[in-house]
């Protein structure tokens, strides 16, 4: 995320900061957010769409502990630098992909894939290789370690 927190509206800052974890399960999550933040549901959706359009967030949805619902794997790919952004976009388009990130390593693009079954996972991994035209390395979890990927954003009084 290249934007400074000061470049986000107060509503965007709250959306980015306050809903990273422990969001209640509801049939109307955006209406619930709107009520909590004192704005309309339409404003919440507009703000989320703007954050997505600007590349600040890729998706809004739950993150489950690995293999609690379905099966998952960590995957890595060695992608030439000039193709990383394009391949990352292709990978992110798969609904089974939680997130991806670039690392300074021979295997420079990493991502988590979660599927309903081992068979479905294998199909998704195969499809990713076919769509990207690069091989991937699947690294299924052997031991469970929980790392909280949330971060506290410093809130500003601007905008």
Question: pLDDT tens-digit profile of 96-107?
Answer: 997 889 999 999
**Averaged over 57-68, what is the pLDDT?**
71
Residues 126 and 82 in one domain: yes
For 65-92, what is each residue's pLDDT tens digit? 666 678 889 999 999 999 999 999 999 9
Q: Return the higher-pLDDT residue of 158 and 11.
A: 11
Does residue 28 lie within any of the structural domains?
yes
Q: Is the dihedral of CA 107, 113, 117, 120 positive or negative?
A: negative
**Averaged over 129-135, what is the pLDDT?**
97
**CA 82 vs CA 47, 62, 85: distances in Å:** 31, 31, 7
Residues 38 and 77 in one domain: no
DSSP state of 5: G
pLDDT at 154 (0 to 100): 63
SS3 126: helix
Does residue 153 lie within any of the structural domains?
no
Does residue 101 lie within any of the structural domains?
yes
């Amino acid at each position: 995320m290249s934007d400074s927190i000061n470049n986000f509206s107060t509503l965007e800052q709250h959306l980015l900061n306050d809903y990273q974890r422990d969001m209640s399960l509801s049939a109307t999550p955006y209406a619930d957010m709107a009520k909590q933040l004192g704005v309309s549901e339409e404003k919440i959706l507009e703000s989320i769409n703007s954050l997505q359009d600007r590349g600040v967030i890729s998706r809004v949805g739950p993150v489950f502990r690995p293999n609690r619902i379905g099966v998952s794997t960590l995957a890595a790919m060695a992608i030439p630098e000039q193709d990383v952004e394009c391949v990352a976009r292709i990978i992110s388009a798969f609904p089974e992909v939680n997130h991806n990130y670039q690392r300074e390593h021979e295997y420079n693009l990493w991502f988590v894939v979660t599927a309903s079954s081992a068979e479905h996972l294998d199909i998704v991994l195969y499809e990713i290789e076919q769509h990207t035209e690069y091989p991937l390395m699947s690294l299924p979890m052997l031991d469970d370690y929980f790392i909280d990927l949330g971060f506290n954003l410093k809130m500003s009084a601007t905008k």
